[in-house]
Amino acid sequence: MSATSTTILNLPDQSTATLPKKNYINNEHGLLSWLLTGDHKRIAILYLISITFFFFIGGAFAGLIRLELLTPQPDLVASDTYNKFFTMHGIIMIFLFLVPSVPATLGNFLIPIMLGAKDLAFPKINLLSWYLYMAGGTFTLAALVLGGVDTGWTFTTPLSTHYLNTHVITAATAIFIAGFSSIFTGLNFIVTIHRMRAPGMTWFRMPLFVWSNYAASILMVLGTPVLAIAIVLVALERTFGIGVFDPTKGGDPLLFQHLFWFYSHPAVYIMILPGMGVISEVISTFSRKRVFGYTAVAFSSVAIALFGFFVWEHHMFIMGVSNYSALVFSLLTMLVAVPSAIKIFNWAFTLQQGSITFETPMLYAFGFMGLFTIGGLTGVFLGSLGMDIHLTETYFIVAHFHFVMVGGMLMAFLAGIHFWWPKMTGRMYPESLSKLAAVITFIGFNLTFLPQFILGYLGMPRRYHAYPPEYQVLNVLSTAGATVLGVGYLLPMLYLAWSLKYGAIAGNNPWQATGLEWQIQSPPLTENFIEIPIVDHEAYDYEWLEHKTKHEVTTVG
C-alpha cells in the first residue's frame, strides 16, 4: 500500500501501486454476495447502478419530449403518447432519481464512515430499502410496458381517478413502494447519526454532508407517509369511487392538491439538501478551508427542512384558495428562501483566503452555485403572489425547477460522484476529459433551460404537445441545448466505466481532504475501520491533517 500522497494531484505511480489486497469489493465473490449483502458500501453501489439506469431512461424520455417540441405541430407522436412521455420522464426523474440520488448512493456509502461507524444502524433494513426501490422501479417499468400512464407526475384528481384509462394504479403502486424505500433510508440515517457516532464525534464535529442528509431524512420520514396516503386515496377512489376528491359526491378536488403538495414541496428539499451537503465538502476541500460559518450552514439545513413543511400552498395560489391564506404562504415562502441565500454566500466566502484548485468536482460545484442561484432567485418570482399568477403552469416553472433540480441537484450529484469516485473504486478518472464534460454540461444546461424562462413569460404553457408557431425559435434553441447536455451526461458514464479498469490508482487521500473517509484505504475494508477512530478535531481541520500526514505513516490492512 502506498503512503498517503502529500500534494493534491501527485498520484502514486501506477506501475508500482495496486489496489489494497483486501477491500469491500473483493471481500466476497458472486452475484449473491452482492444481492444479500448488509454492507452499506455495497448497497450504495447497487443503488448507484440502478439509479444510473433509471436516470438514462428518464433522460431518453426528455430527449423524446424535446424532439417533439422542435416543431410547433404535433408531428412526432400522438398526444396521448406525448403525455405518457412527460409523465414517465417526471415520475422516473423525481421518484427514482432525484429523491434517492445522493442519500441512497453517496449517503449510504459515506455516512457511517464519516461518523466513524462500521455500518448503518440497520443493515438489513438498508438492503430492504434497495429492494423496495427496485420493486418501485419495476412497477414503473411495468406501467410503461403495459401501455403507459398519462397523469403527469402530479397525479391530479379527478383526472387521474375518473378520466384516464391508463395504468394509473400500477404507477401509483410504484410510487407508494418507492416511498417506503425512502422512509426506511431516512429512519436508518437518523438512528445512525444519533447512535453510532465514534467517540469524540460530537454533533458540531460532523461534516456538513451528514448534517444535510440528517435534515433530508427528517423530511423523508415525516413527509413521505402523507404522499402514501394521497396515493392510496387515489387508488381507492379510482377502484371504488369513494368520493373523497369527487365534488359530485361531496368530495373536495382541492384536498388532493393539499395532500400531494404537503409531501411534494418538502420533497424538493429532500432532493436538494443532500446536494448542498456535497457542495460544502467539495468547496472546503479544494479551497483547503473550513466552511465559512459552519454552524450557520448546519442550522440552515435543519431550518430549511422544518420551514419547508409550511409553504405547500404556494403551488396553489391560483386555485381559488382564500386570498389571506395565500398571503401567509407567500410570506413563509419568502422566509424559506433566506437560508438558501445564506448558504450561497457562506460557500462563496469559504473561498476567501483559501488556496484554491480547480479539479472536476470543484467545477461542478461552481456550476451548482451559479445555476442554483438562478434557480433560487426565480423561485422568488413564483413566491411573489401577483407574479405567480402569470408565471405558474408555464415553461417558467419548467425552467425554474430544472435550474434547481437539474442545475442544482444533478450538478451536486456529479460533483459528489467525481469527488468520492477514488474512494469508492480506488481509481482516478481521466482528468481532462472529466473537466471537459463539466464544461459541456454547464453550457448545454444553460442553452436548454434559459430560453424556457422567456417562453414562460411569453405564456407558453407546460405539458403542451403542440404550441403556437411564435414560440418555435426558443424551442429550437432549447432542443439544441438538450442535445449538448445529453453529451455532457453520457461522457462521465463512459469514462467512469473506463476508469474502473484503466484508471490510475488513487491512493487513500488524493484530494488531501480531512474527512474520516479519506483517512482509510480506498476502496475501504468491509468493516471500514480496523479500529474505531477517536475524533479529536473539527470537520475541515486542515492544520490537523497537515500535522497528521507529516508525522505518521498510514496503517491499513
Of the candidate residues 357, 483, 549, 554, the single one contacting other proteins (CB under 8 A): 357
- Please confirm whether the linkage preceding 20 is cis (ω < 30° from 0): no
- Give which of 244, 218, 95, 44 is closest to 157, Cα–Cα: 244
Residue 153 near which of ligand HEM, other proteins, none (CB within 5-8 Å, type-dependent): ligand HEM
Cβ burial, residue 6 (10 Å; 0-12/13-18/19+): exposed
Residue 97 near which of other proteins, ligand HEM, none (CB within 5-8 Å, type-dependent): ligand HEM
Task: Output the furthest CA–CA distance in the chain (Å, rounded).
Answer: 77
Interactions with other proteins, residue window 297-326 (CB under 8 A): 317-320, 322-324, 326
Number of residues that bind ligand HEM (CB under 6 A): 26
The reply on whether position 62 binds ligand HEM by CB under 6 A is yes
Interactions with other proteins, residue window 187-246 (CB under 8 A): none
| CB-CB contact of 275 with 102 (8 Å) | yes
Residue 65 near which of ligand HEM, other proteins, none (CB within 5-8 Å, type-dependent): ligand HEM
Residue 385 near which of other proteins, ligand HEM, none (CB within 5-8 Å, type-dependent): other proteins
Of the candidate residues 97, 184, 294, 403, the single one contacting ligand HEM (CB under 6 A): 97
The reply on whether position 126 binds ligand HEM by CB under 6 A is no
The reply on whether position 94 binds ligand HEM by CB under 6 A is yes
**CB nearer to ligand HEM: pick between 216 and 482:** 482
- Run of H or E including 467: none
Of the candidate residues 296, 306, 477, 480, the single one contacting other proteins (CB under 8 A): 296
The reply on whether position 102 binds ligand HEM by CB under 6 A is no
Of the candidate residues 43, 64, 93, 226, the single one contacting ligand HEM (CB under 6 A): 93
The reply on whether position 534 binds other proteins by CB under 8 A is no
**CA–CA gap between residue 222 and residue 183 (Å, rounded):** 8
What's the residue count for the chain?
A: 557
The reply on whether position 86 binds ligand HEM by CB under 6 A is yes
The reply on whether position 289 binds ligand HEM by CB under 6 A is no
Residue 346 near which of ligand HEM, other proteins, none (CB within 5-8 Å, type-dependent): other proteins
Of the candidate residues 135, 187, 254, 477, the single one contacting other proteins (CB under 8 A): 254
| CB-CB contact of 463 with 152 (8 Å) | yes
The reply on whether position 398 binds ligand HEM by CB under 6 A is yes
CB atoms within 10 A of CB 162: 13
**CA–CA gap between residue 508 and residue 5 (Å, rounded):** 8
Show the site string, 465-484: x = touches ligand HEM by CB under 6 A, - = not.
Answer: -----------------x--
- Give which of 529, 516, 517 is closest to 556, Cα–Cα: 529
DSSP 112-163: HHHHT-SS-S-HHHHHHHHHHHHHHHHHHHHHHHHT---STTTT-TTHHHHS
Interactions with ligand HEM, residue window 432-451 (CB under 6 A): 448
Minimum CB separation of residue 408 from other proteins in Å reads 13
Cβ burial, residue 464 (10 Å; 0-12/13-18/19+): middle
Of the candidate residues 92, 96, 113, 369, the single one contacting other proteins (CB under 8 A): 369
Torsion angle defined by CA atoms of residues 266, 272, 276 and 282, in that order, rounded to the nearest 10 degrees: 160
Grid coordinates representing 310?
Answer: 409550511
**CB nearer to ligand HEM: pick between 418 and 427:** 418
Q: Which residues contact 418 (CB under 8 A, 6 or more apart)?
A: 359, 360, 361, 364, 429, 434, 492
Of the candidate residues 89, 167, 314, 343, the single one contacting ligand HEM (CB under 6 A): 89
Interactions with other proteins, residue window 164-183 (CB under 8 A): 164
Interactions with other proteins, residue window 385-414 (CB under 8 A): 385-390, 392-394
- Phi, psi at 176, each rounded to 5°: -60, -50
Minimum CB separation of residue 374 from other proteins in Å reads 6
Minimum CB separation of residue 403 from other proteins in Å reads 11
Minimum CB separation of residue 83 from ligand HEM in Å reads 9
The reply on whether position 9 binds other proteins by CB under 8 A is no
The reply on whether position 152 binds ligand HEM by CB under 6 A is yes
| CB-CB contact of 290 with 225 (8 Å) | no
The reply on whether position 536 binds other proteins by CB under 8 A is no
Minimum CB separation of residue 494 from ligand HEM in Å reads 17
Give me the residue label for grid cell 436538494. Answer: 272
The reply on whether position 399 binds ligand HEM by CB under 6 A is no
DSSP assignment letter at 102: H
Secondary structure string (H, E, C) spanning 294-347: HHHHHHHHHHHHHHHHHCHHHHCCCCCCCHHHHHHHHHHHHHHHHHHHHHHHHH
Residue 207 near which of other proteins, ligand HEM, none (CB within 5-8 Å, type-dependent): none
Residue 93 near which of ligand HEM, other proteins, none (CB within 5-8 Å, type-dependent): ligand HEM
The reply on whether position 288 binds other proteins by CB under 8 A is yes
The reply on whether position 468 binds other proteins by CB under 8 A is yes
User: Which residue's C-beta sits nearest to ligand HEM?
Assistant: 90
**CB nearer to other proteins: pick between 287 and 478:** 287
Q: Which residues contact 306 (CB under 8 A, 6 or more apart)?
A: 218
**CA–CA gap between residue 125 and residue 431 (Å, rounded):** 37
Minimum CB separation of residue 273 from ligand HEM in Å reads 15
| CB-CB contact of 123 with 82 (8 Å) | no
Number of residues that bind other proteins (CB under 8 A): 93
Q: How far is CA 235 from CA 86, 137, 200, 253, in A?
A: 21, 18, 49, 15
User: Where does this chain bind ligand HEM (CB under 6 A)?
Assistant: 59, 62, 65-66, 86-87, 89-90, 93-94, 97-98, 152-153, 398, 402, 405-406, 410, 448, 462-464, 482, 485-486
